[in-house]
Copies of this chain bind each other. A is one copy, B any other.
Amino acid sequence: MVSEKMVGLVKNSSAIRAMFEEGQKMAAIYGAENVYDFSIGNPNVAPPEAVKKAILELVSEDSPRLHAYMNNAGFEDVRDAICKSLNRRFDTQFVQENIIMTVGAAGGLNVIFRALLNPEDEVITFAPYFGEYRSYVGNYDGKLVAVAPDTKTFQPNIEEFEKVITAKTKAVLINTPNNPTGVVYAEETIKRLVAVMEKKQQEFGNPIYLISDEPYRELVYDGVFVPYLTKYYKNTIVGYSFSKSLSLPGERIGYLVIPKEVEDYNMVLGAANVANRILGYVNAPSMFQLVVAKCIDEKTDVGYYDRNRETLYQGLKELGFECIKPEGAFYLFVKSPIEDDKKFCEIAKKYNLLIVAGSNFGCSGFVRMAYCVAHDTIVNALPKFRELAKELKMIA
């Protein structure tokens, strides 16, 4: 009796979420300390102390606007604080009108797809990619087209990209630092990507929007450079979330940047504002808009994740697992030691190791491990990975 569109989705409901919910059940059975849950990007690092301070200040101010409606795009002073921070850090020239506060990055992506897509429009992304993208595009009857991965570097495969871009391509969706690989798309790759897009826009006579999903922007290691994409291509729209940078994933707070250089700017901005309202978000949560504005230059303890990255990466490498060393985010994308990545995840589960099959990211033969966990979880999981490697005869 439900929507036909939903039947398949319910049956194949997010494997990541299913694993997360199963992990909670396993924790209840075996004790949380005996379950090694690498399934979900739920940051283990507490929010910066400034978040707590901001909440306490806001509550004590008793401002009538604290929990109230505001313009659908969000509080103007919050949007102003955000664009000033962006301008300072990336040498951009945004004004508050360019910012729409959203219910996290997932909300922002839904808003922009609702704003842009007609049925059958195509959105290209690069495998491996966050599996939910397929639903976000499908919600508006668009079609997600995945470019096959370059499993050596996990940089976008530009040759393959050029083969799949067509007159139906409305947008290209990228995610850097990347979930699930932790790879940061190199400036050189970006330049090649947008060169193709510029050429194809000319050829087809239609704008092709570059949508940059950036929840992991602040989570980078070894000082790696993450290009700000509006500076490379004028039809760029940025989606951001404070879920990871301030460890606030449950609060659903993020924003879209729609620069004035975007083709059909007024209409795109208007459509995004209306979409924010009619999709039922109405506005991003009011108090957390004010909280993030007060914490705009705060960020999470990247050093914590860096230590986890080193421990898990080195530990797995010693056991014979193959993996590219991530430059950002908090995921390791490990080659499955057996062909069937789903089967590998099932075997791992026997050791209470919860990891997610790469096929959920459009890249079978790999598995994702989210290392945004307690450091001890990694330390205690490594002997279990050793047992797993033994079972698979990777080590004696």
Contact = CB atoms under 8 A, between A and B. Distances in A.
A9 B275 CA distance: 9
Contacts of A206: 1
A7 B115 CA distance: 9
Contacts of A249: 67-69, 282
Q: How many copies does the complex hold?
A: 2
Given A68-B42, A274-B13, A282 B252 contact: yes
Interface residues of A, number: 83
Given A250-B285, A283-B250, A285-B252, A278 B4 contact: no
Contact of A271 (B2, B108, B275): B2
A182 to B, nearest CB: 19
Given A13-B270, A252-B283, A278 B2 contact: no
Contacts of A62: 46, 52
Interface string A43-80: 11011000110011001001011111111100000000
28 contacts: A1-B263, A2-B268, A2-B271, A3-B114, A5-B118, A6-B115, A6-B274, A9-B278, A10-B274, A13-B273, A14-B274, A40-B69, A56-B59, A67-B248, A67-B250, A67-B251, A68-B250, A103-B282, A104-B280, A104-B282, A109-B280, A110-B279, A110-B280, A111-B280, A135-B278, A136-B278, A250-B283, A285-B285
Interface of A: 1-7, 9-10, 13-14, 17, 20-21, 24, 40, 42-44, 46-47, 51-52, 55-56, 59, 62, 64-72, 103-104, 106-111, 114-118, 132, 135-136, 139-140, 206-207, 247-252, 263-264, 267-268, 270-271, 273-275, 277-288
